[in-house]
Structure formats: structure tokens, C-alpha cells
Chain A
Amino acid sequence: MRKTSVLEGSVGVAEAVKACRPKVISAYPISPQTHVVETLAKMVAEGEIDADYVRVESEFSAASVVYGASAAGVRAYTASSSQGLLLMTEVIYNMAGTRLPVVVTGINRTVSSPITIQPDHQDTMAFRDAGIIQLYVESNQEAYATHIQAFKIAEDHEVLLPVMVCMDGWILTHCYEPLELLAPKEVDGFLPPYRPLYPLDPQNPVTYGSFADEEVMEFRYMVHAAMEKARAKIVEVAEEYRQQFGYYFGGLIEEYYSQDAEIILVAMGSVVATLKDAVDSLHNEGISIGLLKVRAYRPFPAAEVRKALAKAKVVAVLDKSLSCGHAGPLALDVKAAMYNAETHPIILSLIAGLGGREVDLQTVREIVNRCRAAARATDCDFFQLRSELV
């Protein structure tokens, strides 16, 4: 039986993880991830999940525990935020390199210094190049669905990569709203048991983390090739989820009134929901504006982005993180994708919402004004031209 109740986003994530029947969960508490792992610890303690919950002294250890568990051949899960995620970095590179399908929730919170617990995407952006799949979610119902999808994508033998579900802290994790939870049997039917490729077994020993000198390039290429395979898998799994359960939040991307829009906003995460409302309001005022949600950040949906932005005049990419000394990381990727496209809209990199600063309708209005000014600009503007004489 499905159940709908008003739940905190964090509890929704814990329910999704529980439904996936992991065997090992390990985490170190940090805001705003705490309620997720606290709820899971309680579920394990009360026998609702048949798993070991391993308490550790740091996020490095938490990531190492789930690494070992996954290599031993069981489904494993961890979550963290901010500095905690950064402490996992080395292990996550190893997870990707040794192709272990761990699911990690990256509960977005900015990175020190200065210290704050407010959300932005700076922490998960640090994993851009690690070889971990990254899916950014817009709502709590999507977060629930994406965790169930994540295990299925990660564990596919064509993929075999860790997946990070990126979810804005507080805005989503601490928000109470109605959530529909699937029946355990439904999830069991959707997500088959984990079949490890090379499980650790004393009877048939294997070496993980072996040495390679000459072939590093080939192994890194293999991670890249698995990412390419993941593209189709992410779309396929999202479609399967829609058919079985009736929920769909996009595959690699989601388009919202972007078909013939002159201005297209591009964003990831919970801000997408705000932007959808803003687009609705601006539409009513007759402004030609659409929205492109990037759901999969890695693998990056370059072809889909090119297609979605083909007819736009101006594209404004909202980044809730910053590559200091350059621009917003998402904007850079969008620009790179458009370079080989047939059409070339003006692309603006707009940094917003760092450290949890509110992005509201007023912000979007200012963005639209910027886009319109950019659309009017020409290659050669005449300064102080006396237009009355010509």
C-alpha cells in the first residue's frame, strides 16, 4: 500500500533509502544532513531495516566503511554536507576508480570559510571531476524518487559508478510537505538485489586499489565511458519510474516552456521550483521566457542542452556556486556545450543564492532585465550619438 503523509524532506530520503534495503549505512552527523542519518539510525535500531549502521569518527571513515561494504558485495549508503563531503573526497575518487556503486546524498551546504550552515552548491561541485554521477533534485518527492533510481543506475553493470544525489539543505531537507511513499513491494519490483561484479571473498581473493602505471589513461577513460553509458541509463530508469509509479521529474534535463522562448533560464536544484513560478508570472505578462532544468550534472547532457537552447536569443545560467577566478561552473559547461552548436545565443553567467541568499521573483525580474539588455546590445554601439541629426 502506498502512503501519503506530511513528512520532512530528510525523513523522505530516509524512507527512500530504507525501501532500497541497504545492508550497510555509515555516516557522521553534520548539518543539514543530520536528520537523514538520525532517522536511518533509528530505523536500523528498531529493526525496520536489516542493516549495520556503522558509527564512525569522521566522514573520511564513513566513506571508507561504505567503500569496503560495497566491495564486500552489499548495497551501501552514506550522506554528508559541506566540509564533511569534502573530507570524503579522496575516498569518492577511489570509489569511482574501483567502480563501486555506493549512493551518497550530497546535502548541499556551502563550504567554509566563512563558516555557515546555509545552502549552496559549492560543496558538491568539488566532486565534478571525480567520476561520481551527480543528480540534482528540485523537490522532496523528486529526492525520494531519485534515491531509488540512483541505486538502479549505479548498480547496472554497464555503469558501476557511485551516484551522488544533490539536494539543497534546509530548503528541501527541513521542509515539511506531503510525500507519497511507494509500497515496499513496488520498490522491490523496481530495484533488483545488488549483484556485485567482483565481491571480496576469502575463498576467491581479489585485489582492490591495485597499482597501475602505464594504464592510468585507459582506466580513467573507462570511468568516462561508464559515464557515457549512464546517460541512457538515467533516462531509461526515470522513464521506467514514470511508467510504474506515475512520477517523472525529467531524465538528464527537464524543459519548461523553453520550446520557443527568447530568454531561457538554466538552473539546478530547488531553485528550479522557484524559477518555474517566476516563469509562470512572467508568461502572464507576455514575456517570452522558458526554463531548462539540468537534472544530471555528471554526466553532463551537452547534446540535450544544445537542442533545448537552439532557438534562444539569450540564456541566463544561474549558478549557486562559483569557480573563483572564472565564472559559475554550470554556465561554463553550458557555454562549452554551445560552442559547437549551430546557433549561438548570448550566455550570461549569473551567480545567485550563495550562502543561502534568497532567490525570489524580484531576483528573476532583474535577471530578465539583464537578458533583455544583452539582447539589445550590438557589436558596435555609438556613444553620445546625436540621433536627432540623423
Chain B
Amino acid sequence: MKLTVGAVVLPGTSKKTKTGLWRATRPVVNTKTCNGCGICVLFCPDSSISIADKTCQIDYEYCKGCGICAHECSQKAITMQEEGK
């Protein structure tokens, strides 16, 4: 691929960079306690959480493991676990 003049590119290309690889700790959802309120969706700085079937779904391809979701969850339904364990 040839580089563009001035590095001007089409928008939305950051989707191609799978930033989930940066993660050191991963959020794990307890689907029994999660009530699907969506507060984690609002707080996630990487837009990596969505709600489906009344429970939150984490997109691990982009989640960088910051832990904000776990901190904000009123039901304590998300816990952070070290990657690779």
C-alpha cells in the first residue's frame, strides 16, 4: 500500500488496529449479577462494551483493560483478572 500525501486518510481506520493486545488485566462479567443497566457502556472510554440479552458484552479485540467498568458497576458484576492466568 502506498502512503498518502500528508498522511491524510479515510476516517474510521483505527478500527483496524486491535488494541486489545495492550491489555494486562481483563474484565470478566458475572452474568448472574449483571442486570444489564448499561452504566459500563456509558463509561467505557474505548466503546468496547455493548448490552445484549440484558447483560454486558465486552469486545476483547479493543478493550485495553482499564478497569473503569468494574469500578463503576453498581452490582459488582465485573471483576478484573490478570491476563494469562
Contact = CB atoms under 8 A, between A and B. Distances in A.
Nearest to B17: A211
Contact-residue bracket for chain A: 10 to 19
Contact of B5 (A197, A209, A210): A197
B5 A160 contact: yes
Most interface-central of A197, A207, A211 (chain B CB within 10 A): A207
A100 interface: yes
Nearest to A198: B8
Contacts, number: 45
Contacts of B14: 211
Nearest to A161: B6
B9 interface: yes
A222 B9 contact: no
A206 B6 CA distance: 12
A373 interface: no
Interface in B1-56: 3-11, 13-14
Contact-residue bracket for chain B: 10 to 19
Contact of A97 (B7, B10, B13): B7
- A interface, by DSSP: helix, strand, loop or mixed? loop
A210 B4 CA distance: 11
Interface string A81-105: 0000000000000000111100000
Contacts of B4: 198
A98 B3 contact: no
Contacts of A211: 14
Contact of A100 (B3, B6, B9, B10): B6
A198 B5 CA distance: 9
A215 B3 CA distance: 9
For the complex of A and B, 9 pairs with smallest distance between CB atoms: A99-B6, A98-B6, A198-B8, A205-B11, A210-B9, A207-B11, A210-B7, A207-B9, A99-B5
Interface of B: 3-11, 13-14
Interface of A: 97-100, 160, 197-198, 205-212, 215, 218-219, 222
